[in-house]
Chain A
Amino acid sequence: MATYQLNINGKSHSVDVSEDTPLLWVLRDHLDLVGTKFGCGIAQCGACTVHLDGSAIRSCSTTLAQVEGKSITTIEGLSEDGYHPLQEAWKEVDVPQCGYCQAGQIMTAAAFLENNPAPSKEDIKNAMHGNICRCASYNRIFKAVEMAAEKMG
């Protein structure tokens, strides 16, 4: 067991867990931040995507040693009030079916648009390739990312 100081959504948290505990399970089990989802546990589906210093990472395969001292953002902290342009676009396009993967999709898209505010269609497809939506709402996810890019740009 070891104690880690984590900076999540602008707040400092102290957790006492074993060294190999992935960030995902610390968020879900220890900090009640369950918006970040468990999908595969091996960084293949994107459901657990969070931001580390603004970059999208797979929290299921990230240890606390890798994130200590850095700024972590989860879906709960993406915007103060749920009005990030991507969240707005997601509602406008009415993207979700079951909804389970959508937080991960939004987090991937948010980090991507920060670095590429005027993406091409191919750029969006490449950026979103790592996130599985089993309901296959891909056309709407694509539309919502495009819409948010326009609003943000």
Chain B
Amino acid sequence: MTLIKTKIGRRAFIRTTTLASGGLVLGFNWLASCKNKTEEEILAMPKEWFEMNSYLKIGDNGVVSIYTPNPEFGQNIRTSMPMIVAEELDIDWKNVVVEQAPYHAEKYGMQFTGGSRGIMTRWEPLRMAGASARHMLVAAAAEAWQVPAEEITTENGVLYHKTSEKSAAYGEMASAAAKITIPEDVQLKEVRDFKIIGKSHKNVDAKRIVTGEPMFGLDYQKEGMLIAMIEHPPAFGMTLKSVDNSAAKAMPGIKDVVAIKSFKDGYEKGGFDTNAFPEIVAIVGNSTWEVLQAKKKLKVEWKPIAAYSETIAGFRGKETKNIPAGLESSASHKAKMEELSSRPGKIVREDGDPAKAFKNAAKVIERTYSAPFLAHNCMEPMNAFAHVEGDKAQIAAPIQIPSLIVPTIASGLGIPAENIAMEMPRMGGGFGRKAYAHYVVEAALISQKVNAPVKLVYTREDDMTNGIYRPAYQATYRAALDQNNNLTALHVKAGGIPESPLFANRFPAGALDNYLAEEWSIDSNITIGAFRAPRSNFMAGAEQSFLDEVAEASGKDPIQFRLDLLKRAKENPVGEQNDYDAERYAGVLELLREKSDWNQTPANVHRGVSAYFCHNSYAAHVLDIRMEEGKPVVEKVVCAIDCGIVVNPDAATNMAEGAITDGIGNAFFGELTFKDGVPQKTNFHQYQMIRMSDAPKEIEVHFVANEIAPTGMGEPPFPPIFGAVANALYKATGQRHYRQPFVTEKQIVG
């Protein structure tokens, strides 16, 4: 067994009260009060709860309630996080109920849903939560039975003492256990002893989802609650000049029309305070439809912004950003990107003597790849509930990183941060967008101004045109080949608007004697942010398409070509800063080669392969395409992933399937363009999303079996699919595809 000191994340073990009596609250308290409980839920109700630590409490009837600390946006951590606790606690999964923990920085640290960090960062604390509670139950039994604790065993929520033939259910011992001091260190199970982790468990919220129970942010309701909507500038590069609210205010059901300003003067922004339009107008009324009608009557004058610089205090320390004035267009973006691409960039990494290698090359291949801005388009548009009363605020919002927006709300409202209580309802998708919670700040400011509980709702058009978009990117790759067509040098120069997508220390860096990585960026007033596997979601497609072309020029099988480079990176790596583990990287490719039956391409399909490392995990795909009347049909995708221990395999498979199809959709169709600062798509009649008919007919997901602590899962399968699509399209059409979106013929449907 592994001995783990509980002082790691010790704050999570603070017990506020021993006895947490009161009714079981499933989900949100507002939900419990407005819905009748099902028969199972009533049966599960204990008379008393005993809190063991911040993550779990045990009922006198043996039911265990486990708090899931991070917000849920579809990655199913509301099932997999409690599974980790239940494993170490050694209980029967059917006796577990799951509750969403509210925002509580002291108890739960950063409740961060994003960056594929959830399971990875919670792995140890959640195991400790379960194991330490089990330890306390054992200690209580040892005392009650007057036997040594070492002689007590547990199984499925029951304590046993073999020699004296004593046994007790956890529920019977919970009261005494809750009085035991939380241990200094705990024993964790060996991986081979896992009974819950590694076995598929169904989504704990499935029934509620399929019966339409209120659970999303947009479903939030409270007595006396008003509805708010916003009017924001029609173009990036513009801001509020003046508002004439008379016509809108006179509309039926309208309570108020107010201008709000998200940041107080002098406020220093954090890394997730991105906000395209910090000065907007809010319309507040009784019902959504009435507010929507009044929104149409609103007369607002907008004015151009002046250029400015701002200091952002983000994860990487303080950074200065320059925001230019002007109304930007995709045509001028393209011209600027071409210009920057042709100039020397900022050198980020240089190994060997790339200039010499290119000079001596028998052949040089140079290719340029690009991808447009993308909108997140979460199915649930941005929304937030806020009720500000005096110096206190109650918030309920679909949000990925609550702790990072609390200081912004506190500053905007002028109240202490500790007076802000926040619940995090299930998110109807996030994909990075709900990490930028300006809509929560807006809701709070509106509530304060109108002095009422308010639910702010974005229309789809607001959501799509007030985005924190995936940036537009471009990358040029050059390869030097010797007379035997061996790759001797690689040069990548990548940039974007307004950030570079480059990861200079990722594969194939480390596998090549001569390597040069440069980057550039172009300032913009269009707001950008994380979008499922930020930067990787472009670089993987460009890099993996290029390597495919180089492999072909070298006369090598594309998988073997990559494996040869990885062998070099493992045995004799170049440089010391290589981010990836060459052996794990090669492992997914080898598993993929086997599972896809790589050497036997099925009849009538064309195969593309691609692999990538990001978010501490490795993913690789083989994608089979067939052309039908000039359009690509994806027959099958076989995927291999190494994300360490897979907590809930079927849920992880579901996420990988989603990443694959999401990636195919964005590679085929994803695009947002701008004209004079105006996003050229406003809703799904213009923005083509992948639909069932374009999804792969079959997806197979395979995991590398190992005992490595879990690494990222939500993002890693997404980036490499872009390369697999491009490489399969080449095989199918004879044409290399360099510029996304790849399928330009629009197939808009309703």
B123 at the interface (CB under 8 A from A): no
B428 at the interface (CB under 8 A from A): yes
User: Would A44 and B685 be within 8 Å (CB), given that A97-B75, A134-B378 are in contact?
Assistant: yes
Asked if B426 and A39 sit within 8 Å, CB to CB, the answer is: no
Residue of A nearest to B686 (CB): A44
Q: Which of B215-223, B471-479, B573-581, B639-647 contacts A (4 or more CB under 8 A)?
A: B215-223
Q: Mark A112-139, 1 if CB is under 8 A from B, else 0.
A: 0000000000001110111111111111
Residues from chain B with Cβ under 8 Å of A129 in the complex: 691-693, 749
Q: Mark B364-393, 1 if CB is under 8 A from A, else 0.
A: 000000000000011111000000000000
Residues from chain B with Cβ under 8 Å of A132 in the complex: 379, 684, 689, 691
Q: Per a CB cutoff under 8 Å, which of A28, A43, A74 touches B750?
A: A43
B311 at the interface (CB under 8 A from A): no
Q: Which of B41-49, B175-183, B206-214, B354-362 contacts A (4 or more CB under 8 A)?
A: B206-214
Residue of B nearest to A36 (CB): B212
Residue in A32, A47, A124, A134 with the greatest tally of chain B CB atoms within 10 Å: A134
A103 to B290, CA, bound (A): 25
Q: Mark B435-454, 1 if CB is under 8 A from A, else 0.
A: 00000000000000000000
CB-contacts of A69-125 with B (<8 A)? 74-76, 78, 82, 86-87, 90-91, 94-103, 106, 124-125
Residues from chain A with Cβ under 8 Å of B167 in the complex: none
Residue of B nearest to A106 (CB): B210
In the assembled complex, how far is the CB of residue B692 from the closest CB belonging to chain A, in whole angstroms? 4
Residues from chain A with Cβ under 8 Å of B378 in the complex: 98, 100, 134
User: Would A28 and B692 be within 8 Å (CB), given that A97-B75, A98-B380, A136-B665 are in contact?
Assistant: no
A21 at the interface (CB under 8 A from B): yes
A138 to B634, CA, bound (A): 13
In the assembled complex, how far is the CB of residue B416 from the closest CB belonging to chain A, in whole angstroms? 33
Residues from chain B with Cβ under 8 Å of A125 in the complex: 692-693
Asked if B74 and A135 sit within 8 Å, CB to CB, the answer is: yes
A137 to B227, CA, bound (A): 31
Residue of B nearest to A144 (CB): B210
B144 at the interface (CB under 8 A from A): no
Asked if B658 and A29 sit within 8 Å, CB to CB, the answer is: no
Q: Per a CB cutoff under 8 Å, which of A25, A37, A76 touches B288?
A: A25
In the assembled complex, how far is the CB of residue B201 from the closest CB belonging to chain A, in whole angstroms? 9
Asked if B661 and A139 sit within 8 Å, CB to CB, the answer is: yes
Q: How many residues of chain B are within 8 Å of chain A by beta carbon?
A: 67
Asked if A137 and B379 sit within 8 Å, CB to CB, the answer is: no
B505 at the interface (CB under 8 A from A): no
B205 at the interface (CB under 8 A from A): yes
A91 to B211, CA, bound (A): 11
A30 at the interface (CB under 8 A from B): yes
CB-contacts of B528-562 with A (<8 A)? none
Residues from chain A with Cβ under 8 Å of B678 in the complex: none
Residues from chain B with Cβ under 8 Å of A95 in the complex: 206
B279 at the interface (CB under 8 A from A): no
Asked if A137 and B654 sit within 8 Å, CB to CB, the answer is: yes
A133 to B459, CA, bound (A): 18
Residue of A nearest to B211 (CB): A82
Residues from chain B with Cβ under 8 Å of A128 in the complex: 691-692
B518 at the interface (CB under 8 A from A): no
Asked if A98 and B379 sit within 8 Å, CB to CB, the answer is: yes
Q: Mark A10-43, 1 if CB is under 8 A from B, else 0.
A: 0000000110111001001110111111111111
Residues from chain A with Cβ under 8 Å of B426 in the complex: 98-99
A1 at the interface (CB under 8 A from B): yes
Residue in B227, B287, B665, B696 with the greatest tally of chain A CB atoms within 10 Å: B287
Q: Per a CB cutoff under 8 Å, which of B227, B287, B655 touches A97?
A: B655
In the assembled complex, how far is the CB of residue B176 from the closest CB belonging to chain A, in whole angstroms? 38
A125 to B427, CA, bound (A): 27
User: Would A141 and B655 be within 8 Å (CB), given that A35-B212, A44-B683, A103-B210 are in contact?
Assistant: no
Asked if A135 and B429 sit within 8 Å, CB to CB, the answer is: yes
In the assembled complex, how far is the CB of residue A43 from the closest CB belonging to chain B, in whole angstroms? 6
A82 to B685, CA, bound (A): 33
Asked if B287 and A135 sit within 8 Å, CB to CB, the answer is: no
B690 at the interface (CB under 8 A from A): yes
Residues from chain B with Cβ under 8 Å of A44 in the complex: 683-685, 750
Q: Per a CB cutoff under 8 Å, which of A34, A94, A98, A103 touches B429?
A: A98
Asked if A135 and B211 sit within 8 Å, CB to CB, the answer is: no
Residues from chain A with Cβ under 8 Å of B221 in the complex: 32, 34
Asked if A100 and B428 sit within 8 Å, CB to CB, the answer is: yes
Residues from chain A with Cβ under 8 Å of B205 in the complex: 96, 99
Asked if B685 and A42 sit within 8 Å, CB to CB, the answer is: yes
A142 at the interface (CB under 8 A from B): yes
CB-contacts of B48-92 with A (<8 A)? 73-76
User: Would A137 and B657 be within 8 Å (CB), given that A34-B219, A94-B202, A100-B429 are in contact?
Assistant: yes
Asked if A136 and B287 sit within 8 Å, CB to CB, the answer is: no
Asked if B693 and A91 sit within 8 Å, CB to CB, the answer is: no
B273 at the interface (CB under 8 A from A): no
CB-contacts of B612-666 with A (<8 A)? 650-651, 654-655, 657-662, 665
Q: Per a CB cutoff under 8 Å, which of B287, B650, B685, B750 touches A94?
A: B650
Asked if B749 and A130 sit within 8 Å, CB to CB, the answer is: yes
Asked if B689 and A134 sit within 8 Å, CB to CB, the answer is: yes
A136 to B657, CA, bound (A): 8
A38 to B383, CA, bound (A): 11
A45 at the interface (CB under 8 A from B): yes
Residue of A nearest to B666 (CB): A136
B724 at the interface (CB under 8 A from A): no
In the assembled complex, how far is the CB of residue B254 from the closest CB belonging to chain A, in whole angstroms? 12
Residues from chain A with Cβ under 8 Å of B212 in the complex: 33-36, 74-76, 103
B34 at the interface (CB under 8 A from A): yes
Asked if B202 and A97 sit within 8 Å, CB to CB, the answer is: no
Q: Per a CB cutoff under 8 Å, which of A1, A28, A32, A96 touches B203?
A: A96
Residues from chain A with Cβ under 8 Å of B430 in the complex: 98
A22 to B288, CA, bound (A): 10
B residues contacting A by CB (< 8 A) are 34, 73-76, 202-203, 205-207, 209-216, 218-219, 221, 227, 252, 287-290, 293, 377-381, 426-431, 457, 459-460, 650-651, 654-655, 657-662, 665, 683-685, 689-693, 695-696, 698-699, 749-750
Can you report 7 residue pairs joining A to B where beta carbons are below 8 Å apart?
A29-B227, A39-B684, A94-B203, A94-B654, A99-B209, A101-B379, A101-B428
- Given A87-B211, A97-B658, A136-B660, 12 more contacts at CB 8 Å? A18-B289, A32-B34, A34-B221, A38-B457, A44-B683, A75-B212, A76-B211, A82-B207, A100-B378, A125-B693, A129-B693, A136-B695
